């Protein structure tokens, strides 16, 4: 199975600052169709995960432009600009290139 | 808008089975995979498998072979997951999610306890 390794944040993050979350895959996530099936989610306390980014760098509909995704075939980053109170929660990456699909362990964002 | 409405919380006994549902609306149910995901308390997320309601095709994470069975009813736009031979390790919140994991249900908490 593909292992997705997420980095930690230097919590707490001061409100208004930027934060970057990393996710490293044990194998290239570039699919034969040219897409990289790497999603980012935010799970707020008591809620289901909310899609932020898909195909590594495409922002989902309705998601603030403070969120951006980037990366290569195995290394990925979610950047949150000007962190706000509503951004707190746990962030997950998901790879949907190789079966079985696998998630990172999650990165918690706490606000100062 | 796309909505996935899951059934209510379940308290079940060890060794029994449970069937939870996910009713879809706001899109063509038969045209997109429906995924199921497990989240144990305080833990991360595990992909269980998907079903394509259009033809009933399924794909499972090997870890859940024999544990989970996915079905779908086109007439009611509802996907189901049955979990069998339940143990305490199956106590978790179970989510359904559609397509490219774009939209998620609210989750169903399954508690296995005698």
pLDDT band at B98 (very low <50, low <70, confident <90, very high): very high
HEC string for A35-92: CECEEEEEECCCCCCEEEEECCCEECCCCCCCEEEEECCCEEEEEECCCCHHHCEEEE
Best probe of the B interface among A31, A38, A50, A101, by most B CBs < 10 A, is A101
Q: Measure in Å the smallest separation between the Cα of B96 and chain A Cα atoms.
A: 10
B37-92 pLDDT per residue, tens: 999 977 789 999 999 999 999 999 999 999 999 999 999 999 999 999 999 999 99
What pLDDT does A112 receive? 83
Query: Which residues of A are less than 8 Å from B6 in CB distance?
Result: none
CB proximity A69 to B under 8 Å: no
Q: H helices of B13-108, where?
A: none
CB proximity B41 to A under 8 Å: no
Q: Among candidates A20, A25, A22, A48, which has minimal Cα distance to A36? A: A25
Give whole-number Cα distances, B103 to A48, A103, B23, B45, B58, in Å.
9, 16, 13, 15, 19
Q: CB distance B44–A96 less than 8 Å?
A: no
Q: CB distance A51–B102 less than 8 Å?
A: yes
End-to-end alpha-carbon separation of chain B, Å? 40
CB proximity B46 to A under 8 Å: yes
The structure tokens listed for B51 are 């079903």
Number of Cβ atoms within 10 Å of the Cβ of A13? 18
Q: Collapse the DSSP code of B81 into the 3-class scheme (helix H, G, I; strand E, B; otherwise coil) and give the result.
A: strand
What pLDDT does B32 receive? 97
What pLDDT does A96 receive? 97
Q: What is the pLDDT along chain A (112 residues), one digit of tens a residue?
A: 999 999 999 889 999 999 999 999 999 999 999 999 999 999 999 999 999 999 999 999 999 999 999 999 999 999 999 999 999 999 999 999 999 999 999 999 998 8
What is the β-pairing status of strands A75-80 and B18-25?
Answer: unpaired
What pLDDT does A11 receive? 83
């Amino acid at each position: 199975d593909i292992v997705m390794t997420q980095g930690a944040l230097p919590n707490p993050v001061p409100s208004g600052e930027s934060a970057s979350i990393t996710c490293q895959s044990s194998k290239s996530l570039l699919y034969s169709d040219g897409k990289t099936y790497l999603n980012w989610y935010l799970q707020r306390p008591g809620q289901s995960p909310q899609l932020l980014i898909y195909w590594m760098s495409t922002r989902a509909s309705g998601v603030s432009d403070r969120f951006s995704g980037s990366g290569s075939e195995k290394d990925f980053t979610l950047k949150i600009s000007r962190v706000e109170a509503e951004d707190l929660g746990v962030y997950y990456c998901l790879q949907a290139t190789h079966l079985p699909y696998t998630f990172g362990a999650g990165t918690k964002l706490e606000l100062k | 808008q796309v909505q996935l409405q899951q059934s209510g919380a379940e308290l079940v006994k060890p060794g029994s089975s449970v069937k939870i549902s996910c009713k879809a609306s706001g899109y063509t149910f038969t045209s997109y995979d429906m995924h199921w995901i497990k989240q144990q308390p305080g833990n991360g997320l595990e992909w269980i498998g998907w079903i394509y309601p259009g033809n009933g095709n399924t794909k499972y994470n090997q870890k859940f072979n024999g544990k989970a069975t996915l079905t779908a009813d086109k007439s009611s736009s509802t996907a189901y997951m049955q979990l069998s031979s339940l143990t305490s390790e199956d106590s978790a919140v179970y989510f359904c999610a559609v397509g490219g994991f774009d939209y998620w249900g609210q989750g169903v908490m399954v508690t296995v306890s005698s």
